[in-house]
Amino acid sequence: MSDFVYDGVSILKERQEDLLKEWESRPSNPPSLKESVGIAFPDIEEKFQDGRSKYGKCVKAFLATQDMKAKPSHEYQGRDDVSLSDEMKEYIKNNGHAMSDLDVTRIIFDDHKLTNLHKETRLVSEYRQSQGIEQSLIAAAHTNDVPEQAEYKPPRTTNLIISRVNRYVLDGINKDKITARQRKEIESLIGYLHTYRFLHHINNFDSQVDRDLFESSFVRYTYDKSDLTQEEVDQYIVLATEVVIASNIQFRVEHLQRLLDDAANDTDGRRISMSLVEAIGKAQNDYHQSVGRQNKLLNDLKEKRSDRLKNQIKENASIINLVQMWKEEESRQKLIKLAELRKQVIKEEIENLSSMDEVKARIMGISEDEVLEG
């Protein structure tokens, strides 16, 4: 076996052997692409251990020669050996009525990256239903899954965006009396909803309730602001995300509080009440931190916008002053011209009156011709 060379990058013979051994030792859970790059090139910086780097492309090319394909590190590796232990089943029986299937799954498998699409969640849901455990209305709302193909599609037309705004804002926009300013704001909002980051964030939510809350928060904050910079749009996306996070934390606190109330009435459950109290305290602290981040972010955005509007007012005031000065200058020139004309008329009259003979002739009623002709 010789060194493998691809696009100017080479994998040493020893590293090829290490890489193949690692793959052979993990047939059910092969290394991710990032892991494979780290094995082939252990001395490179972590930022280059990416599938898009020249090292990542070289590793992918080498694995392709071996009929292997590494998955990106962020891609979920499916598990074929997923099963529910007796402890997991007991937890589902005790909490399945008050929690969503996804929340239960993330707790019992200790993996908060799991979604409604993973096998673990489906397994929990199937077991809950098989035991006849019905969820409460709150839990059911948080289990309102978005179908796998249901990708969020932002509105593109004026009528659709007005309908979306009026859905979340009381007395939002009257489509029969749209002003020029509102039309500009509508066009801007359509652009905001089509940014990649917004679409990426909203499509990451598994619950339709969370999607609606995220969208409503973003729309309410931005529907009447047509002058946002790209940085401010990103900040409003973060702000809307924090609103969803705070809502989910609040739901968790309420659920833990109900569990604590049940434990207080149960002799055997009193031993876990202290753990629940600590969990409630941590959740409440997380909630207050989220609210604090929201307030800070909102105040920063208001301050930036206020400063920008002040600058615009100053610029507009300068333009108005220039116009006023121009008008004043024009009026002054007109007055000067009128004064000069009046002065000229008076001068001519003075010249006419300067000849006394002409004055006398006019008094006596004799014309100039009569005097000349005798």
- Tell me the range of 36-40, 218-222, 322-326 where mean pLDDT is highest: 218-222
**Per-residue confidence (pLDDT) for residue 149, from 0 to 100:** 44
User: DSSP character for 111?
Assistant: -
* 129-165 CB burial, b ≥16 within 10 A, e <16: eeeeeebeebbeebbebbeeeeebebbeebeebbebb
Rg over CA atoms, the chain: 40
Q: How far is CA 135 from CA 89, 111, 296, in A?
A: 16, 22, 37
Per the prediction, the chain carries an average pLDDT of 78
Q: Which of 210, 241, 217 is nearest to 100 (CA)?
A: 210
Q: How is 25-91 classified by DSSP, letter by letter?
A: H-SSSPPPHHHHHHHH-TTS-GGG-STTSHHHHHHHHHHHHTT--PPPTTS----SS----HHHHHH
How sure is the predictor about 220, in pLDDT bands with cuts at 50, 70 and 90? very high
Q: What is the C-alpha separation between 321 and 112, in angstroms, rounded?
A: 60
Strand residues in 155-230 grouped as ranges (E): none
**Per-residue confidence (pLDDT) for residue 76, from 0 to 100:** 46
**CB–CB of 51/71 below 8 Å?**
no
Give just the sign of the alpha carbon dihedral 216, 220, 223, 225. negative
| Of 306 and 301, more confident | 301
| Of 126 and 347, more confident | 126
Q: Is the pLDDT of residue 229 over 60?
A: yes
Give just the sign of the alpha carbon dihedral 369, 371, 372, 374. positive
| Of 232 and 277, more confident | 232
Give the tens place of pLDDT for each residue, 142-155: 555 555 446 888 88
- Tell me the range of 16-30, 220-234, 341-355 where mean pLDDT is highest: 220-234
Which run of H or E residues covers position 130? helix 119-130
**CB–CB of 232/201 below 8 Å?**
no
> What phi, psi does 6 have (nearest 5°)?
-145, 120
Summarize the confidence of residues 224-239 as an average pLDDT.
90
Q: Which of 245, 236, 255, 143 is nearest to 193 (CA)?
A: 236
**Per-residue confidence (pLDDT) for residue 87, from 0 to 100:** 83
How sure is the predictor about 321, in pLDDT bands with cuts at 50, 70 and 90? low
Q: Is the pLDDT of residue 132 over 90?
A: no
Share of the chain above pLDDT 70, in %: 75
Report the amino acid identity of residue 169: V
**CB–CB of 34/73 below 8 Å?**
yes
Give the tens place of pLDDT for each residue, 68-126: 766 554 444 555 567 888 888 888 887 777 778 888 888 888 777 778 778 888 888 88
Q: How far is CA 18 from CA 9, 41, 55, in A?
A: 17, 11, 16
Summarize the confidence of residues 277-296 as an average pLDDT.
85
| Of 365 and 199, more confident | 199
Please tell me the pTM assigned to this model: 0.46
Q: Is the pLDDT of residue 137 over 60?
A: no
**Per-residue confidence (pLDDT) for residue 239, from 0 to 100:** 92
Minimum mean pLDDT range among 28-32, 150-154, 201-205, 323-327: 323-327
Q: Is the pLDDT of residue 268 over 90?
A: no
Q: Is the pLDDT of residue 160 over 70?
A: yes
How sure is the predictor about 188, in pLDDT bands with cuts at 50, 70 and 90? very high
**Per-residue confidence (pLDDT) for residue 219, from 0 to 100:** 94
Q: Is the pLDDT of residue 31 over 60?
A: yes
Q: Is the pLDDT of residue 252 over 60?
A: yes
Q: Is the pLDDT of residue 227 over 70?
A: yes
**Per-residue confidence (pLDDT) for residue 32, from 0 to 100:** 80
N-term to C-term CA, the chain: 141
